[in-house]
């Protein structure tokens, strides 16, 4: 039976069977001991004096085998706060990720929260 002459249900079954067969080969992998990268030196981002923005800048960084940050990519942007976040992230140092005890290049996420000192604790207070 040719693929074009199959019913939609038969086509779906054939596609699913192909995908499941591929996944089955992946799950048979040998288990490994993985440790994620752990920050050892962190730096706060400096709030720009000319910005009134608030919120969170989310970054993904590449952590090299020696623990330094080699690349920074902005995932959630606040335009006036991106640059100070990137500068701070480049100064971070990590205990690198490890697979079976060997240091490897990996990725980590960093979030910088800018609230201009207006935390929920301070916002709801009333003077007496």
| pLDDT tens-place string over residues 108-127 | 999 999 987 765 654 444 54
| pLDDT tens-place string over residues 29-84 | 788 899 999 999 999 999 998 899 999 999 999 999 999 999 999 999 999 999 99
C-alpha–C-alpha distance, residues 48 and 112, integer Å = 13
pTM of model > 0.85:
no
Q: Please give the pLDDT value at position 122.
A: 47
Q: Please give the pLDDT value at position 115.
A: 87
DSSP state of 3: G
CA distance to 32, 53, 75, per residue, from 64 (Å): 20, 32, 20
Q: Which residues contact 50 (CB under 8 A, 6 or more apart)?
A: 80
Work out the number of other CB atoms within 10 angstroms of the CB of residue 55. 13
| pLDDT tens-place string over residues 91-103 | 999 999 999 999 9
Work out the number of other CB atoms within 10 angstroms of the CB of residue 48. 13
62 phi, psi to nearest 5 deg: -95, 125
Residues in the chain: 128
C-alpha–C-alpha distance, residues 37 and 98, integer Å = 8
């Amino acid at each position: 039976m040719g693929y074009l002459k199959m019913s939609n249900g038969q086509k779906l079954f054939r596609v699913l069977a192909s995908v499941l067969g591929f996944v089955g080969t992946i799950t048979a992998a040998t288990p490994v001991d993985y440790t994620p990268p752990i920050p050892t030196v962190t730096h706060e981002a400096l709030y720009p004096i000319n910005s009134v923005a608030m919120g969170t800048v989310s970054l993904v960084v590449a952590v090299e085998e020696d623990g330094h940050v080699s690349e920074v990519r902005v995932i959630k942007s606040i335009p006036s706060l991106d640059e100070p976040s990137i500068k701070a992230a480049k100064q971070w140092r990590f205990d690198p990720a490890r697979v079976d005890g060997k240091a490897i290049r990996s990725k980590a996420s960093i979030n910088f929260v800018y609230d201009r000192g207006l935390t929920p604790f301070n916002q709801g207070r009333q003077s007496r």
